[in-house]
Amino acid sequence: MKTVLITGASSGYGRETALYFHSQGWNVIATMRTPRAGVLPESDRLRVIELDVTKPETITAAFEAAGPVDVLVNNAGVPSIGVFEGTPMARVRDVFETNTFGVMATTQAVLPQFRERGSGVVVNVTSSVVLGHMPLSAVYKASKMAIEGFTASLSLELAPFGVQAKTVEPGACLTTNFAATATNDASVDELVPAPYAPWAKKTMDAFTGQDLFTKESDVAETVWHAVHDTTGQLRFPAGPDAVWLAQAK
């Protein structure tokens, strides 16, 4: 029986991916910054472990507690919507700490066991922002584009050892806690200087009014497909809007 470790599994894509792999008979290590009861069902094939991707000591402790794993899904992430001119550099660094450096840190932690075993898959969840030119996302997109490039190069380094690295690119989903934070957080207004406000409102209205959206289940199923794909495909858009963007490139 195979084991998957998923970061950011307390809600949204991470939680749905944990439930999906569990339903397929896998052992699931669901990690989250603040473990709490009731988020996931009780099962002898599902364990909840504390892991904050910005804290190296929790990464080490989590992998020690998890034991051998076959797949790492780097799902944990933080949103950032706003105008770059109005975004403090401290906020930029916070976004990169989780979305970029955190992904690299957890990946580095799992690679020795994958390499020594001669198998394993790393799936890095990025975003459909990497597929198109999207406003109000300069910092967020930069953090995710960095992981796209990281994964592309990493996959070449790992290939001689039978280890794979891939990205899943979810489209826009308005039903996750992540999306609620991104679109309703009071700090969004703080990141939009007054001269940009009319344009930013029009842009956000267009975004929330689009026809195609992604569901959490789209992402979970795409992660599953990416893990099992044997064609050498590197990037996997998830959700109808992401697929449309990928095909339009």
Q: Is the dihedral of CA 10, 13, 18, 22 positive or negative?
A: positive
Q: What is the DSSP letter of 50?
A: E
Residue 64: alpha-carbon gap to chain centroid: 22
> Does residue 140 have an active-site annotation?
yes
Distant-in-sequence, close-in-space partners of 139: CB < 8 Å, separation ≥ 6: 80, 82, 84, 87, 91, 92, 95
Instruction: Indicate which residue of 13, 20, 140, 196 is catalytic.
Output: 140
Q: Is 234 exposed, middle or buried (0-12, 13-18, 19+ CB in 10 A)?
A: middle
Catalytic residue annotation: 140
